[in-house]
Amino acid sequence: MDLRQMRYFLAVAEQLHFRRAAEILHLSQPSLSHQIQQMEEELGVKLFERTNRKVLLTPAGNAFLPRVRNILQSMNDAVQEVGRVDQGLAGVLTISFVSTALVGVLPSAIKKLQMQAPGVELQLKECEPKDQIASILHGTTDIGFMHAKLDDVQLATMVIQRDELVVALPSEVQEDGPVNLHNYIQYAAIMPSPFTAFGFYNHVQRAYHQVGLTPSKIIYTNLIVGGINLVAAGMGIALVPASFQNIQVRGVIYRPLMTPPPAVKLLAVWRRNSTSRLLQRFLDILKHCA
């Protein structure tokens, strides 16, 4: 028995009339009758009671009907789902990121993806670059967002955001112009935790080294937002991406650096050999947003 025969059975069961069912199916009535007879022989049961005046479902036919409907509906759903997946409109997209990615391009790109493909399931995870790279290579993450230097031929990358570094200062200092870090050497440097891969920590460290400074006191924090709140508490100063100036925290002011280091690049990273249409749709959105 195949799906075609099930559709024949369903048409007759719903019409309870072989001629009308044959017209709907674009078959001849004898051909439809023959197909139903074959089904009955294969099942070893009679599905319809036929008289000159009417066609009725037998008890076996009545029991068979809802199961056939479920099978055909499930197959129809599967065909539609496969089509949506092939168009990048359905499926699961796993995204990993560092905290700096949450301000700027990534949130707006995710929002656009949800608008284009509301049926997509998103799995988001914040983690450091080395863990992101491992999960991308192992196939458990589709795409990651990080600050890193990568030379693995298995990975493809795209710069989606460039940020200048600015300094977050306690508002009590009342600094108006570009900041000379030498004037704040007595303050603790609030920095992101150092990762094994080249990450945002290295950009901050480079900014200090560029002006010949090594902070005498460092406070490490996993989240840049957490570092900004430590600045508000008067515990030190923090170098943060310029995009974080949109995060207004009472007690914090943002100022440019007198000697700005090279812009910080946020990379999108994915497996070069990925065939995911959903990932490709997301990459197209990222290109537009970037």
Verify that 200 and 64 share a domain, yes or no. Answer: no
Q: Which of 287, 288, 274 is nearest to 94 (CA)?
A: 274
- Quote the CA–CA distance of 163 and 152 in Å, as a whole number: 24
Q: Tell me the mean pLDDT in the region 6-10.
A: 93
Residue 143 shares a structural domain with residue 277: yes
Instruction: Tell whether 54 and 81 lie within a shared domain.
Output: yes
Look up the domain containing 172 and give its range. 165-262
Query: Looking at the predicted structure, is the pLDDT value of residue 25 above 80?
Result: yes
In this predicted model, what pLDDT tens digit does every residue of 218-256 receive, in sequence order?
999 877 888 999 999 999 999 999 989 888 899 999 999
In the listed set 36, 67, 86, which residue is the last one of a domain according to the structure? 86
Please give the average per-residue pLDDT across 37-47, as a whole number.
93
The total of structural domains in the chain comes to: 3
CATH of the domain at 212: 3.40.190.10
d(CA 276, CA 32) in angstroms, rounded, equals 42
Same-domain check for residues 134 and 278: yes
Rounded percentage of the chain residues whose pLDDT exceeds 70: 99
Whether the pLDDT of residue 86 is over 80: the answer is: no
All residues at 6 or more sequence positions from 223 whose CB lies less than 8 Å from its CB, including other chains: 99
Q: How far does Cα 186 stand from its chain's mean position?
A: 43
Q: Average the pLDDT over 28-57 and give the result.
A: 91
Same domain, residue pair 169 and 254: yes
247 and 184 in one domain?
yes
Q: CA 202 to CA 130: how far, in whole Å?
A: 14
Residue 121 pLDDT greater than 80, yes or no: yes
Average pLDDT over residues 105-128: 93
pLDDT given for residue 248 in this prediction: 87
144 and 277 in a single domain? The answer is yes
Range 161-177 average pLDDT? 91
For the chain, give the DSSP string.
--HHHHHHHHHHHHH--HHHHHHHHT--HHHHHHHHHHHHHHHTS--EEE-SS-EEE-HHHHHHHHHHHHHHHHHHHHHHHHHHHHTTSSSEEEEEE-GGGGSSHHHHHHHHHHHH-TTPEEEEEE--HHHHHHHHHHTS-SEEEE------TTEEEEEEEEE-EEEEEEGGG---S-B-GGGGTTS-EEEEPPPSSS-HHHHHHHHHHHTT---SSEEEES-HHHHHHHHHTTS-EEEEEGGGGGS--TTEEEEEBSSPPSPEEEEEEEETT---HHHHHHHHHHHHH-
